[in-house]
Structure 1
């Protein structure tokens, strides 16, 4: 039984950088979040698709090494998605995907889940996205829900339809995390605050926006507060946002703010709690970008970095 259930894609990232040989890494935003949660000691299941191929073996071994329980469409008949991740001279990543997302309907979602996280390709790409929404709808009465759009424009199709699908997921969620780049693509010409306020009005209690080296901002009904970045030497940015997301969920769980019974408290978090959560998440992201691939910290590393 898992306290956390993450629903979404696994992707084999083929990392390509100038002057270096290609290196395969386990990836996919939801898979990274599940891995990060498990590394922080949280009992976590991942409902996903994973092929009986070399990429699937790599990812499965990686996730299980942290203690992630794999659920869903596993093995024969499924092809593991791949992405070529090209790094520029500053370590910033661009992506070229080969992804099919056809998650089958789930007859019986896992019991005992306190929090569900969805995101990225799996939450908005049909036909599998319908299965994701169904799982969330069935588990939401007993669990809080988070969402990270993790926008990949080349996979989203026409812009109006993409925005509508993202907003459907926002409305199902108690917590949404997005990057400022995500919001710029979804809502060109609108400020971060304008988007955050519109999303809060649609249902979530908390909207978090990451801004790379400029830190993050948390928006609630009480207003916004900033989180400072943690200085570090960047090797690559792969998985930074996912590591941030994992640490946010871990921090909120530690503060008793996840699970359906905690919804009233999540709707009115105090500033001191938000500051702790944002600092924890920024530190986790800084550790992740300081090394190659989506390798979030374990609990001992994070505690040491936090002092």
Structure 2
């Protein structure tokens, strides 16, 4: 089974400035990779996050948030301001974003190679830091399993064709891929998300997970497709829901012994429909907890178990 100290997440931290009608702004620690690292730590995994943080109030807020959950935060010493995103919520709690982000991640040495690496979002498309991230995946994947979530932010993706090529490169380097149906629609307009996921599966991953908001989620694997329904939840907001889904999925895969260099062969040979269903259940339950409270606030292990026992 994966040693929990061997989880590495590479990617951005973002201060989410949440704006509601007739209310004061609220600042929440965010950034998709940072949310995944936080979610993994909340679930009991000693996780390292390789990122950038400014020496400002938002940077201190995010660092305290992450380290408070047990995340080992590593930075490259950049002096750029902490990235921020203005998050506007509509009446249904759906979020739209306006970003102020600089991503210049440089190389950071690690004491030992991790057993699993997760990345995605802005960190894999915004240069010059994206080149560092891809190089790290290429270097580390010989001894580590890799997961990837494009977490598309249209305002920051740049040229569409280049963004698609970068996403497909990251997919090919990965063992586990997660995307939303909205991500796939942006990348491949008008294409059935099942077909897009199947094409990604053929490029190299062992499994592709696709979230569909209130319509649940499905996984594509070599012997077919597995689906789960979304759990009923009173939605406060959807900030961080996809990231909680990702951390819940990785938590379940680790519990099944399917991550890490030793788990890669099992991941590709023994990932049956029952196991994938269990992974999706954990992921959906984690997301359901998160949408029920403000900001990217994923469950701890006890909260996740409570929801799973109700399913």
Pick the TM interval, shorter chain. over 0.9
Measure the CA separation in 2 of the matches of 1:280 and 1:166. Answer: 25
Distance (whole Å) between structure 1 residues aligned to residue 266 and residue 221 of structure 2: 12
Q: Contact 1:18–1:89 at 8 Å: present in 2 too? A: no
1:13 maps to 16
Helix, strand or coil at the partner of 2:135: helix
TM-score by length of 2: 0.96
1:139 maps onto 2:144 in alignment: no
**Counterpart mapping for 1:102-181 below 5 A:** 102-106=104-108, 108-181=109-182
C-alpha distance in 2, partners of 1:173/1:89?
A: 37
* Aligned residue number for residue 208 of structure 1: 209
TM-score, scaled relative to structure 1: 0.97
Residue 80 of structure 1 is matched in structure 2 by: 82
Q: Secondary structure at the match of 1:226?
A: strand
Q: Is residue 2–residue 112 contact of structure 1 (8 Å, CA) maintained in 2?
A: no
Report the count of equivalent residues.
Answer: 305
- Which 10-residue stretch deviates more, 136-145 or 42-51? 136-145
2:69 paired residue number: 66
Runs of 4+ in 1 over 2 A off after TM superposition: none
Question: Are the equivalent residues in 2 in contact too, given 1:117–1:145 (CA < 8 A)?
Answer: yes
1:38 aligns with 2:36: no
**Structure 2 residue 91 is matched with structure 1 residue 89:** yes
Distance in 2, matches of 1:306 and 1:209, equals: 20
Q: Aligned equivalents of 2:232 and 2:278: distance in 1? A: 17
- How far is 1:112 from its partner? 4.4
The answer for the alignment partner of 1:270 in structure 2 is 272
- Conserved 8 A contact 1:55-1:80: yes
**C-alpha distance in 1 between matches for 2:290 and 2:208:** 22
Q: Is the 8 A contact 2:52 2:76 kept in 1?
A: yes
Structure-2 separation of matches of 1:144 and 1:110: 18
CA RMSD of aligned residues (A): 1.1
Choose 248-257 or 126-135, whichever is displaced more: 126-135
> Which is worse superposed, 164-173 or 45-54?
164-173
2:7 to 4, 7, 16: 4
Q: Distance in 1 between matches of 2:23 and 2:150?
A: 31
Alpha-carbon distance between aligned partners in 1 of 2:13 and 2:211, rounded to the nearest angstrom: 22
Unaligned runs of 5+ in 1: none
SS at match of 1:51: coil
SS at match of 1:50: coil
Q: List runs of 5+ in structure 2 lacking aligned partners.
A: none
CA contact (8 A) 2:80 2:102 kept: no
Aligned-residue offset at 1:211: 0.2
